[in-house]
């Protein structure tokens, strides 16, 4: 009986240790194999990068935020986290003329799928968004707001008031300059130490040491957004409180944490074509440029370009397709969810078979013991 149990346990362990990888299989995003494949995919891309001018006709479409946990090789001290969180953004490059905001997938054909670490994507995306807002506001001001202080204006004319009223009445609050010196979002797009005035700093109860807090982006619970949170260590893996650090931030500053309830990344289609400010240029098509940040995002990402239209680029890159397939995203219009990993059907089948074999072996052993017992009684 003990032998049977040991045999079954050995078989069960062997089955669970086997990784089955086929052409249609998915590799889990948080697996060591997946992280290794992604690293190799990026290396291959950097060794032979294609010209990325074709990206000028495509738009970024956020697909979801995914969280994996991995061993922290840099943890030396006892108080440092041994398991750190790795946050990844999955995004799509859709043809600009067919990319739609209402469709969570963005487009259904002619696209490429990509994955990149959260901090790199957010920093580049935020910088592009800020430049886009600056251009839109300047364009609206010059063409829709009559705020030039010319001879036709009265002595009581105030240019600042004119611009404020023009933007406010048009619903362009993002164009109104506000005092944001107390909190610079760009400092915390990567995990950064929270800077506070001395009078707002907390002291530990028993030690005269300042408690250091850090602010950085994190994935929403279902992966459909990216928010800012407050953390108590410099990898931004452990929240400062049970409310993603929002309570701690309010206690320290008396204000609400920006982007704690509004996502840093929207569901819009963000064109990779850089804005052309040269209005005198009659042939703009010959001067179309790719956003520098969009090019950086593309070059740094793991790529799956098997669905790109034929002829778009000479050498489509599909090195990260297996990894991206493991970062499962379920889409519905306006909502993005990260789904739980599915069980491996091959492993499940082997477990069932060995369980049945174990049960049959136990029955057979019981049968033999019973028969031997009957014969022994007969002889006596």
- Each residue's pLDDT tens digit, 164-195: 999 999 888 888 876 555 688 889 998 999 98
| SS3 state at 377 | helix
pLDDT in tens, 357-372: 888 888 777 777 777 6
Planar angle of CA 283, 60, 262, nearest 5 degrees: 125
Closest CA to 297 of 185, 129, 133, 135: 129
Kindly state the tokens that stand for 352. Answer: 């069932």
Q: Report the alpha-carbon distance of residue 262 to residue 186 in Å, rounded.
A: 15
The confidence score (pLDDT) of residue 240 equals 93
The confidence score (pLDDT) of residue 4 equals 43
The confidence score (pLDDT) of residue 322 equals 86
CA 227 to chain centre: 11
pLDDT in tens, 296-329: 999 999 999 999 998 888 889 999 898 888 766 5
**Over residues 248-261, mean pLDDT:** 91
| SS3 state at 303 | strand
What is the phi-psi region of residue 14: left when phi exceeds 0, alpha when psi lies from -120 to 50, beta otherwise?
Answer: alpha
Residue 241's pLDDT band, with cuts at 50, 70 and 90, is very high
The one-character DSSP state at 151 is T
Residue 92 has pLDDT above 50, yes or no: yes
Helix H or strand E encompassing 249: helix 246-253
Residue 46's pLDDT band, with cuts at 50, 70 and 90, is very low
**Over residues 202-229, mean pLDDT:** 77
Residue 17 has pLDDT above 80, yes or no: no
Task: Collect all residues with Cβ–Cβ distance below 8 Å to 24 and sequence separation of at least 6.
Answer: none
């Amino acid at each position: 009986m003990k032998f049977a149990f040991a045999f079954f346990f050995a078989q069960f362990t062997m089955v669970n240790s086997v990784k089955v990888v086929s052409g249609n299989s998915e590799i889990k995003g948080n697996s060591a194999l997946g992280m290794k494949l992604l690293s190799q995919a990026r290396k291959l891309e950097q060794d032979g990068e294609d010209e990325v001018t074709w990206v000028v006709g495509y738009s970024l479409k956020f697909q979801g935020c995914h969280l994996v946990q991995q061993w922290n090789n840099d943890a030396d001290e006892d108080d440092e986290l041994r398991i750190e969180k790795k946050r990844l953004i999955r995004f799509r490059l859709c043809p600009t003329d067919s990319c739609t905001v209402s469709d969570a997938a963005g487009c259904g054909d002619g696209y490429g799928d990509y994955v990149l670490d959260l901090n790199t994507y957010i920093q580049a995306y935020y910088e592009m968004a800020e430049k886009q807002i600056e251009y839109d506001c300047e364009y609206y001001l010059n063409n829709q707001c009559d705020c030039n202080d010319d001879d036709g204006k009265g002595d009581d004319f105030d240019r600042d008031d004119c611009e404020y009223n023009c933007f406010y009445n048009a619903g362009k609050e993002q164009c109104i300059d506000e005092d944001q010196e107390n909190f610079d979002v760009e400092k915390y797009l990567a995990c950064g130490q929270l800077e506070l005035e001395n009078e707002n700093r907390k002291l530990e109860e028993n030690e005269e040491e300042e408690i250091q807090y850090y602010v950085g982006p994190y994935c929403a619970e279902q992966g459909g957004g990216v928010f800012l949170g407050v953390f108590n260590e410099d990898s931004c893996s452990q929240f400062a409180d049970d409310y993603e650090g929002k309570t701690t931030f309010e206690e320290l500053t008396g204000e609400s944490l920006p982007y704690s309830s509004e996502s840093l990344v929207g569901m819009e289609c963000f064109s990779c074509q850089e804005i052309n400010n040269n209005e005198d240029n009659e042939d703009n098509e010959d001067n179309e440029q790719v956003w520098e940040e969009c090019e950086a995002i593309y070059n740094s990402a793991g790529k799956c370009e098997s669905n790109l239209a034929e002829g778009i680029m000479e050498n489509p890159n599909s090195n990260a397709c297996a990894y991206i397939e493991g970062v499962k995203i379920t889409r519905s219009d306006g909502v993005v969810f990260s789904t739980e990993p599915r069980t491996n059907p091959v492993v499940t089948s082997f477990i069932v078979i060995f369980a049945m074999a174990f049960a049959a072996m136990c029955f057979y052993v019981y049968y033999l013991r019973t028969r031997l017992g009957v014969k022994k009684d007969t002889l006596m």
